Amino acid sequence: MFDFDVSTNYLTGIGPAKAIVLQKEFGIFSANQLLNFFPIKYVDKSKIFTIRELQPSNTEVQLKGVITELKEVKQKRGTRLVGVFKDNTGSIELVWFKVTKWLKSSIKINEPYIIYGKTNCFNGTFSMPHPDLELEANYTKNIISGLQAVYPSTEKMSAKGFNNKVMSKAIQNLLKEAYPYIEETLSNEIMEEYNLLSKREALLYIHFPKNQEYLSRAQKRLKFEEFFFIQMQLIRNKLVRKDKIKGFVFKHVGEYFNSFYKSGLKFDLTNAQKRVLKEIRADMSTGAHMNRLLQGDVGAGKTIVALLTILIALDNGFQTAMLAPTEILATQHFQAVTELVAPFNITVKLLTGSTRIKERRVIHQALEDGSLQILIGTHAILEDKVQFKNLGLAVIDEQHRFGVAQRSKMWMKNTLPPHILIMTATPIPRTLAMSAYGDLDVSVIDELPPGRKAIQTVHRFDSSRLRVFKFMRDEVAKGRQVYVVYPLIEESEAMDYKDLQDGYESIQREFPLPEYRISIVHGKMKPADKEFEMQRFVKGETQIMVATTVIEVGVNVPNASVMIIESAERFGLSQLHQLRGRVGRGADQSYCILMSGVKLSNDSKTRLETMVRTSDGFEIAEVDLKLRGPGNLMGTQQSGVLNLKIADLVRDSKELHMARNKAVEVLTEDPNLALSKNIAMKRMYQQIHKRTSIWANIS
C-alpha cells in the first residue's frame, strides 16, 4: 500500500530542504497534496527541430545534439558559461549566467542531449540562454509526454534549485510509486454517463498528457469532480438542515399581516414580490429551519417583503431582529419600518454603536420581557448582552458585510435558531450563487415596481465637465437634487484621481451661495456630523450631495434625480451599479453620469460600456465575475468553499451545471450515500468534509 498522507520530506527528489520551501510557498505537506498540485500551463515538446529549421522568431524549441565544448567568459560581474551545441545540420551557442561552476562540472561533453528553451538571433547566429538540459538516455526513460507541464513557482523555490524540471521529476517519481493505489472517487455509472477518465488516468494525464486530447479529458474529469463534491457538501448540508435542524412553526397569518396588507401597503405588490412571499411563508410553516437568500436589484422592493415576513413572525408571538452593516442603513430601515407600522401598535427600537447607555438599558429590558417586537440595528445587536425572550426571525441586509462568526451569534440568542432571511442588492451571478450559496434556498425579485423609469446612463470624459455642470444647474432648477461621488477623501500622489476636497471646492465655485447649498459626507466624519449632513439632503435643504461611497447603501431620496460618479474607471462594476441605484426612486426621469479620464484600461472600458448598455443587475454581475474572478467578488474565498484547484467558475460553468444536477440526482436517490455503487463517493465526501468547514447552517 502507499500512504498518501506521507510527508513530502520523504518523497524521492524532494527531501527536507525543498519540502520546507514547498510547505511555506504553497502549503503542500503531503504526497496527496503534491499529486493535486496542478500545472498552470503546458509547452509543446512533441516536435524536435533541427538547427537548420530555426527561424528568428524568439520562440521556444526543442533540439537534439551534443555539446562539443564549454568555456567560461569573464564579464563585469562574475562569469558566464558558453557552450557550443551541434547537430547534423549546424550549431548554436548555449549561454548560462548563473550556477556556472556546477553546470561546467556536471555537463557531459559529446554526449547526446535533448535541450529546450527560447532562441535568440543576432546577425544570423542563434543562441539559447539557460536551456533545459536532459541526457537523451534519461529523456527516453521518463514518462513520455508531448505536452510538458509548467508548475507555479516562486523566487524562493528558484533560489533553492527547485525549478520546473525538479518539480516535474518529483511528481513523476510519486506517480510511479502511487499510481496502482490511487482510488476511484466517482461511481462507474457517472463515469460512463459523462465519458470520464478514471481518477488515476486523470492524475497521470494532467501532469503528463500524451497530447491535447488526453489533457482535455483529464481536465474535464478533475473539474467535474471538484465541482461535484463542492455541490455534494452544499446540497447535503441543506438536506440535513431541513431534516434535522428544527425551526419555529409559524402557523398563523394573522391580524398584523392582514391589517397591514389591506391598509398599510400604499401600492400593489409586484408578481415577483408575491411569489417570493409565498416561498418564505411555505418555509416558515413547515417546522424546518428557514435559511433563504433574497436577491433583488436596487429598488426592487426587498424591504417590504422583509417587513411582511416580520409581521408573520409577530402574528405567531415571536420577536424579530433586522441587521444592517452601517448606522446609516440601520437608521433608514428603522425610520421606514416605524413609519409603516405606526398605525398598528407595534413596538420598534433602533440599536447601534451610537445608542446611549440609558436607552440601551430600556431596549435590553424590553427584549428580555418580550414587549419589544422589532429590533433594528447594526453589529451592536450581536453583543452578548443583547438577549431576546423569543427571537423567531432574523433579517440580515447586505449579509456579505458580516463575518460568519458574527452571523453565528444570532443562533446563540435562542434554544432553537431563528429563521434567517438574508437580503442583498448585489446581484450574484448564477454560477457563483450555486457554489458560494448552494446550501441556501434562493429567492429572486426580478421585477421593478410599476411606474419606475429606467435610469439613463452616459459616459463623459473630464473635458465635458462644463456641459455636465450646466446639466446639473438645469436639473436643480427643476427642483431636483444631485449626488456627486468621489473615490478618495484626500490627495493621493500614487493615483491621478480627483479627490473629494478638491471636487467639493470646485463645485462650491460653480454653485455658490445663496442660490445653491451643498452637503458633504465621507467616512472620516463623526457619525453625528454625517447624519446631520445626510438629513439636510433628505429634507431638501441642500441640492447637491458631495460624498464618497458611504452613500452606496442606505440613502433613499426620491427627489434625487442625478448621480455623477467621478473617476468612474476606479470603481468596480457592482459598486457602480449600487451607486446608480441611489437615484431613480421617484417618478421623475433620473440620470447617471460616469466621469473619467481619457486613458482607460481595457477592463475599465468594459465596465463603463456595460453600465451604459444595461441596467440588469444580473447581467452586470456576470460581467463583473468575468473581469474580477470569483475570489475577489464579494470576498467569497473567505468562505472556504471556493478554493478551486483546477476548475474556474466563469470558464467552466457547463461543468458546474452538470456536476450540480448530478449531485442533486445522487442525493435525492441516496441521501446518505449508503448504496454500494456510491461507496467510493461516500469515502471521498467524508475526507473532504473533515478538511473543509462550510458554515452552511449560518448562511
More confident residue, 412 or 407: 412
pLDDT, tens digit (0-9, with 9 covering 90-100), for 603-652: 999 999 999 999 888 788 878 877 876 554 444 333 444 567 888 776 78
Query: Is pLDDT of 463 > 60?
Result: yes
Report residue 687 CA to chain centroid gap.
Answer: 25
Integer Cα distance of 87 and 51 in angstroms: 7
pLDDT band for position 555 (50/70/90)?
A: low
Domains of the chain are 1-45+145-181 (no CATH), 53-144 (2.40.50.140), 219-245+643-698 (no CATH), 255-284+301-424 (3.40.50.300), 456-614 (3.40.50.300)
pLDDT band for position 401 (50/70/90)?
A: low
Give the model's pLDDT for residue 483. Answer: 95
Residue 132 pairs with which residues in a beta bridge?
116
- Asked, as a colleague might, if the bond just before 514 is cis with ω within 30 of 0, I would say yes
More confident residue, 53 or 414: 53
**Nearest Cα to 325, choosing from 579, 632, 584, 552?**
552
Integer Cα distance of 142 and 140 in angstroms: 6
Alpha-carbon distances of 667 from 188, 326, 676, rounded to whole Å: 16, 40, 14
Check: pTM over 0.85? Answer yes or no. no
User: Looking at 463-599, which runs of residues are DSSP E strands?
Assistant: 481-485, 518-521, 544-547, 560-565, 591-596
Average pLDDT in the 90-109 region?
A: 88
Grid coordinates belonging to 294: 433574497
